[in-house]
Structures are given as structure tokens and as C-alpha cells.
Structure 1
Amino acid sequence: MIINKKEFSGGLALLAAFFIVLAVMFQPIFDGKNAMAYLDAMYNSISKGSVNYVAPLRDEVKDPAVKKDLTLKLTYTTGVQAEQSAKLFEKAGVKVSLNGKALEVTGSVVDILNASLDDAELMYHNDAEALEGKYGVEARRTTFNWWTSLGLMEKALNGQEEFKVAKVTSTVMKKAVETAYNYYEIEPLDITDELGLVIFSLIFYVVYTLWYGFAILFVFEGWGLNLGH
């Protein structure tokens, strides 16, 4: 039995309006996307815009402790990946010897890390064409090969007790190469470029959630359902 028709009707009106707005939000009216997809893409772009670490990592690579010529033995899971990765080191200007699934790399660690940062920056800016022209391999595969190679380098460097160099190598792998791979094809965006929409979306989320909550509350209270003990 409805004990408060005014409150019950108000709750139903709020619910109806809530679902009308929800239906509009699901329409592809925001650059061909619905509201959720559009905001998801925007926040992904803002996220990418906040994680371009290439420039500060170039400074970190300049650390005198990293400026060493070393010989590293790297073993890959397949001969194909070893062969593709050999091209990365050759382009970096170091000596490479390929033997099946294994590479022996001799040369400047700084040159290798700077080469990986150059390619990570191309990938970060979605310049797949430049990477593919450079190595003749699909851009994501090249970036994955860098990620694998730097991981193997870190392991080899730790084995030689070159802990400082290993740490910088790991940082480049995670903050530059891995980030560029994960955000590929997403356009970077500074939050200040969409600050108004960001603020509106956050406020709207809170208001819209409360809107639904109060609508349900008014319907139940108007219906005579109350919580008690």
C-alpha cells in the first residue's frame, strides 16, 4: 500500500528522469561514441599525457655510473626474437654476435639505453611507420623485443654485480618502453586541455549517483517500506 503518494510519485519521476538520461548517455552522440566510451578515451589520453618519462630518463642514463662498456650474454625464448633483437643492438651501434637463441652484446650501455628511449618515444607518439621503416618489423613487436632485451640485460647486469646499471636499465624498461607499448594508439592529452569536462564529469558522477539513491529512497518510503530495528 502506498502511504505517501507525493513522495512515491516524486521518486518515480526521479527514476524515470534517471533512466532517460542514462539512455541518452548510451547514444553515440559524442564524436561517434557514447558518454562512457568518450570519457574512458579522454581519461586514457590524460593518463598517457602524464606518463611521458623519456626526457627525465635521458638525464638518468647520463649518470657516470652507467657509462660503461660491457659484454652481456642474452638468451631469448626463440631464435626469431633473438634475430629481431640483434637488429636493435646493431642500430644502437654496439657489437652483436648471434648464435641461435642467444646474443652476445658488447658495447656502451648508454648507447643501448638511449636507442631504446629513442624507439620508446616514437612508440609513445604512435609513430609506428618510423619504427617499422627502421627495423622492418611491426612496431609493437619491436617495442616488445626492447622490453624483453632490457629485461634480459637487467638479469645479466645483476649477475655481473653491476647493480646501478641494472637498476637504470629496469627503470627505462618499465617507465619508457613498457609505458609506450601499453599506451600505443592512444593520443596523449594534458589534463588542463579538458579541465572543464573533467570537473563536470566528476561532479556529474556524484550527483547522478545521489540522484538514483534518493529516487529509490523516495519510492520505498512512499510505498511504506522503512528500515528499523
Structure 2
Amino acid sequence: MSMQQKLKTRGILMLVGFFAVLVVIFLPVFPGKVNGLDYTDNIFNMISKGSSYFIPATLQESELYKGKTIDVTVKLADAAQAEQVAGQLANAGVTVSVNDNELAVNGDMASITTASLADADLIFNNNGTPLVEKYGYSERQVMYNWWTLFKKITPELNKQKMFAAAKFFGNVEKKALEPAYNYYGVEAIKWQEHIGLILVALAFYVVYTLWYGFGIMYLFEGLGLKISH
């Protein structure tokens, strides 16, 4: 058998093996009866969540804003959301008035952020039932309302040149509210406890990519095709 034929055979075998493994990856044969992509995605989501818990530190920082009052008017999506957000703020002891979808907020900054962070902590720990009982609608809607409010408050405070306050509202939104909402229902795990699995997954990704690349290269060389500059 000529060298060219050997290269072609090697390339074909490598590509057949590559696609055989690919079929297995897409079969629901992994723990939890999911496919390989969903399994690894779930693992890395859990690891990511375990590294995204900034709520205690943010709560501590919010103590610095006790006694600092904000007075802003924001527009929400509709009157229904405005009523919900008003209820959440009132529950935190903040003065608020509603005019259709417009909300006038006047109150202690720490009271607002602390209330939102307390709710976010429950959601981050996959405990949404207390929020449903507290507000009367879904826990996800509660978090979405807080996130929307903070998103609207930040530019208003910037307009008032309250830059430090605006930055903190933005930090709470990104470091606490968004992770709590996005990771709701995901179990948090520490990466140190699964370092072996992480290394295996990364090594497999590298090897599997090279596997395909060399398979194509050998096949082309066996067909007499060569890549050159």
C-alpha cells in the first residue's frame, strides 16, 4: 500500500471515529439522561454559579449608603409593572407614587438596595416560594422588576450627577440581580471539588478538535491535495 493510500485510509478512519463520537455526544446517555453538550453545559453553569455569589459583599457595601436619599422618576414597561414595582418599594419602606407607567421614587438608597438584595439572595439559593407569598406573583417577575427598576434608576442618577450612587445601583444590578435571575434553579458547586472533571473536559475539547483537523489533513494528503502558502 502506497504512503498516499495509507494517509487516505488513516484520514477516513479518524473522521469515521470523530463522527461516531459526535453521535454519542448528542445521545441522551449522560447522567440525568441528557446529551453530552447539555451535561457539560450544566456542569460549567453550576461551577460558574459557585463563583458568582457577590450578594453578601454587596449587602455590606450598601450599608455605606444608609441615610442617602434618592429622588427619581422612571418609566416602566406598563402600568401593571409600575404597580408591582411600587409594591416592592413600599414593602421596603420607600415613598413611591404611580402615574400610569411612571414611578416617582423617594427614599433611602440603602433601603432600596437592601430589599432587592434580600430577595436576590433567596432566588440565588433557589428559594423562590417566600417571594411568591410576599408579593403575590412569580419570583422571576419580582427579580425582573428589581432589575428593570435599577436599570432605569442608574441613568437618572447620572443626570443628577450622583455618580457614586448610580455606579452602586449598576453594580447591584450586574453583580447580584442578574446572577440571581440567570442562575435560578441551578445548583452551585465549587470548581475545586470538580477539578478533575474540568481538566478532562478541557483536554477532550483540545484533543477532539485536533482529531478532526488531522483527519481532514490526512484525507486531503491521501487524495493528493496539499495546503500551501
What amino acid sits opposite 2:22 in the alignment? L
Indicate the residue corresponding to 1:59 in structure 2: 60
* 1:182 aligns to 2:182 (yes or no): yes
Indicate the residue corresponding to 1:129 in structure 2: 129
- TM normalised by structure 2 equals 0.89
Indicate the residue corresponding to 1:7 in structure 2: 7
Q: How does 1:153-172 map to 2 (within 5 A)?
A: 153-172=153-172
Structural RMSD (CA): 2.2
Instruction: Give the number of aligned pairs.
Output: 228
Residue 222 and residue 84 in structure 1: after superposition, are their counterparts in 2 closer, same or farther (change >3 A)?
same
Indicate the residue corresponding to 1:114 in structure 2: 114
**For the Cα contact (< 8 Å) 1:3–1:223, is it kept in 2?**
no
Cα deviation 1:153-210 (Å, max 9, x = unaligned): 2233334332222211121122211222222222222212221111001111111111
What amino acid sits opposite 1:206 in the alignment? V
Indicate the residue corresponding to 2:48 in structure 1: 47
Indicate the residue corresponding to 1:222 in structure 2: 222
Cα distance between partner residues in 1 of 2:188 and 2:172? 19
Q: How does 1:63-212 map to 2 (within 5 A)?
A: 63=64, 67-212=67-212
Q: What are structure 1's unaligned runs of at least 5 residues?
A: none
**For the Cα contact (< 8 Å) 1:9–1:219, is it kept in 2?**
yes
Indicate the residue corresponding to 2:37 in structure 1: 36
Shift in Å, 1:152: 2.8
Cα distance between partner residues in 1 of 2:228 and 2:78? 67
Cα distance between partner residues in 1 of 2:88 and 2:208? 51
What amino acid sits opposite 2:25 in the alignment? M
Shift in Å, 1:95: 2.5
Shift in Å, 1:103: 2.9
Give the % identical residues.
40
Shift in Å, 1:147: 1.2
What amino acid sits opposite 2:75 in the alignment? T
Cα distance between partner residues in 2 of 1:17 and 1:69? 65
Indicate the residue corresponding to 1:23 in structure 2: 23
Cα distance between partner residues in 1 of 2:76 and 2:11? 63
Residue 162 and residue 7 in structure 1: after superposition, are their counterparts in 2 closer, same or farther (change >3 A)?
closer
Residue 165 and residue 227 in structure 1: after superposition, are their counterparts in 2 closer, same or farther (change >3 A)?
closer
Cα distance between partner residues in 2 of 1:80 and 1:132? 17
Cα deviation 1:103-162 (Å, max 9, x = unaligned): 333331101100011111112222222211111111121111111222232233334332
Residue 223 and residue 141 in structure 1: after superposition, are their counterparts in 2 closer, same or farther (change >3 A)?
same
1:98 match: secondary structure: strand
Residue 12 and residue 168 in structure 1: after superposition, are their counterparts in 2 closer, same or farther (change >3 A)?
same
Cα distance between partner residues in 2 of 1:209 and 1:156? 49
**For the Cα contact (< 8 Å) 1:12–1:215, is it kept in 2?**
yes
